Amino acid sequence: MIVKVLGSGAGGGVPQWNCNARLSRMAWDGAGNVRPRTQSSIAVSAAPGRWVIVNASPDIRQQIWATPELQPRRDGAKRNSPIKAVVLTNGDIDHIAGLLSLRERQPFSVYATERVLSILRANSVFDVLAFDVVERVTLPLGQPIEIADTAGVTVEAFAVPGKIALYLEDASKRGFGTEPGDTIGLRISTPCTGAVAYIPGCAEVSEDVLHRVHGGDCLLFDGTVFTDTELVDLGIVAKTGERMGHVAITGDGGSLHAFDGCLVRRKIYIHINTTNPILEPGSAAEATVKEAGWEVACDGIQITV
């Protein structure tokens, strides 16, 4: 099984379009080796010409352009695509907006929890994905399901601590209206390979999350912020990582050492915000995560399991 990181940035990518903070400025200027990153997404394949996209980033056209394996076959029909399915881990804009770029009556399937599918149904703009061409399939929680026409790619969705999408928040409700199924992680495998856990958004490393990750070949985990108050300290917004539904890498309850007792061969931070100092090669923050056994994702890396 091949896993390609299409995008490793958090919402807005790196640099975000209106950000002039130090790391974003370095990325704009091409200075200090801070690499630009598109918004988080991965592609998975168990057979040539059959790919599953996990999360449809607003940058999906650029990501397909950068990934020849996802482009139409040269010897194929006038319109063709190796993308057989899109799996969604939540209803965040940076994970669903790319669906709008996948119109043009090209057959594929969209897999998501009923909560996330209801978001698509409630917004008629997503009807550009014609119902007679693009099948929508409900992902059950805790039950492995084989993705159709992918030669055996199987995903098992599981609820993770998180938060409802920003545009759906209701301040009058507990947890802003968050319900089970709003945010999920995935255990991705095939009959002949090991497993990859993909958790781009997570508010807490719970015992269930540890259980789901244990024994896997690779963990791709939420690396949005290095410290919980990172954006507040920089004077960018008055929101902590916790308020945004993302566990910080460091600090009490941070993810840095939360998985130390888990049997997982490779740990990689993904969904990295444009303010996160791990983006800067050679920084103390990057050294901290590497010393703890983590890698920092960038667009284009490939993982084989």
Tokens of 198: 């993909």
Contact 129, 102 (CB under 8 A): yes
Give the model's pLDDT for residue 83. Answer: 98
DSSP 70: G
**CA-based nearest residue to 4, from 222, 196, 263:** 196
**Beta pairing, strands 302-304 & 108-112:** unpaired
- Rounded to whole angstroms, the Cα distance separating 11 from 261 reads 30
Entry pTM: 0.96
**Sequence-ordered list of residues with C-beta below 8 angstroms from that of 138, at least 6 positions apart, any chain:** 111, 112, 113, 114, 117
- Rounded to whole angstroms, the Cα distance separating 129 from 233 reads 42
CATH code: domain 2-304 is: 3.60.15.10
| Tens of pLDDT, residue by residue, the chain (305 residues) | 999 999 999 999 999 999 999 999 999 999 879 999 999 999 999 999 999 999 999 999 999 999 999 999 999 999 999 999 999 999 999 999 999 999 999 999 999 999 999 999 999 999 999 999 999 999 999 999 999 999 999 999 999 998 888 787 667 766 777 877 889 999 999 998 889 999 999 999 999 999 999 999 999 999 999 999 999 999 998 889 999 899 999 999 999 999 999 999 999 999 999 999 999 999 999 999 999 999 999 999 999 99
Give the model's pLDDT for residue 173. Answer: 66
Look at residue 146 and give its three-state secondary structure. strand
Contact 266, 219 (CB under 8 A): yes
